[in-house]
A = this chain, B = another copy of it.
Amino acid sequence: MSTTDGGELRVGLVGYAFMGAAHSQAWRTVNRAFDLPVQVRMTAICGRDPANVRAAADRLGWQSAMTDWRELVARDDIDVIDVCTPGDSHAEITLAALAAGKHVLCEKPLANTVEEASAMATAAAFARGSGVRSLCGFNYRRVPAVALMQQLIAAGRLGAIRHVRAAYLQDWIVDPEFPLVWRLQKDRAGSGALGDIGAHIVDLTQYVTGQRITGVSALTETFVRERPLPSVSSGLSAGADGRGLGRVTVDDAALFTARLDGGAVATYEATRFATGRKNALRVEVNGALGSLAFDLERLNELEFYDATRPGPEQGFTRILVTEPEHPYLAAWWPPGHIIGYEHSFTHQMRDFVQAIADGTDPAPSFEDALQVQLVLDAVLRSAGNDSAWTGVDPVLTTA
């Protein structure tokens, strides 16, 4: 089992693209913003291209750069492995890291298949016995407005939940000339909009309601079925290289209805074809006593309708979630001084580091992430079976 050495927590990051940069800023910042019992050291970053990973280390603030993740996992001076690679390598790296006794933070979706996710959850459960901590990076749980949403529902403020309405809308591949990057290839990404952004709304809605999806009816669509082959493919942008067209093997959009185990019904939509919607993760929950609504494009705000207030004064209250008594906000600026997307990662690192220091298990666990994977799997099965109602398989707990 890994321990922190002299009050330090030494991190090794695998991947240096979009998620690698987001995690790096969070690791750099977490001890500046929060009082923590241990000090994070950004020990090593790992990527396949030697020059690129070296440049990334310098730019992002890592003490060393490596090209072989197996060597990184084998290092004695690393306590945490942070996995920011595409989904097809999550399982292999994570399993090796857990086996080496490292704490693991793995980006979402946990894996490209239920089989892999299941193996990872099982390994994490075993490792937990030795004090090894694991966390799946559903960072939006740590947006303060989302955390407040969860708190208000947990406190019973909405009463019985009736409706969940969730959409994650982007538009970055509307142009049919946008090239065939790895996120559009099933062997690399597992699925398309569903796994990339649909996974977020599945996790987020289950988290805030405290209810789990029991069954779904789904359809998926690929609007643009062939795209130019890319010359380079990094993160969300790329150029084409004139080598011709390749087949898109993932969904551009996934839509499904669902039932949750507390009695709510739900609609979900994840798409990369909602022109004009850049990062519109929207969730609304309607309960017997009130409602809550959130939009990631205005992530410092939460709309709360409290039906127990006097009738003529009822309405949706726009809470500007920037007060010191709001989750995570005491660490930042005075009221009304808003924070951004990247802060959700800093908050995630704070909770992860604190849990490691406390010897407790952070959430969402790999089992939680496996359950999300099981929902996504049910979605794909339903979509492949004429939208027939499809139950979500249970998480087989190992502990």
Output the nearest chain B residue to A59 by Cβ-Cβ distance.
B32
**Count class of interface residues, chain A:** 35 or more
The one of B289, B340, B387 that contacts A337, using a Cβ cutoff of 8 Å: B340
Q: Tell me, yes or no, whether A48 is within 8 Å of chain B by CB.
A: no
Cα–Cα distance between A280 and B303 once the two chains are bound (Å): 15
Residues of B within 8 A of A386 (CB): 388-389
Interface residues of A in 4-24 (CB under 8 A from B): 18, 22, 24
Q: Tell me, yes or no, whether A52 is within 8 Å of chain B by CB.
A: no
Whether A317 touches B312, Cβ cut-off 8 Å, given contacts A25-B32, A256-B257, A257-B255, is no
A269 to B165, Cβ gap below 8 A? yes
Q: Tell me, yes or no, whether A348 is within 8 Å of chain B by CB.
A: no
Main DSSP-derived SS at the A contact region: mixed
Residues of B within 8 A of A342 (CB): 332-333, 337, 339
Interface residues of A in 253-289 (CB under 8 A from B): 253, 255-257, 259, 263, 265-267, 269, 271, 273-280, 284, 286-289
Output the nearest chain B residue to A167 by Cβ-Cβ distance.
B165
Q: How far is the CB of A307 from chain B (nearest CB, A)?
A: 5
Q: Tell me, yes or no, whether A313 is within 8 Å of chain B by CB.
A: yes
Q: Could you say which of A163, A253, A259, A306 has the most chain B C-beta atoms within 10 Å of its C-beta?
A: A163
Interface residues of A in 171-223 (CB under 8 A from B): 171-172, 174, 217-219, 221, 223
Q: How far is the CB of A246 from chain B (nearest CB, A)?
A: 20
B278 to A219, Cβ gap below 8 A? no
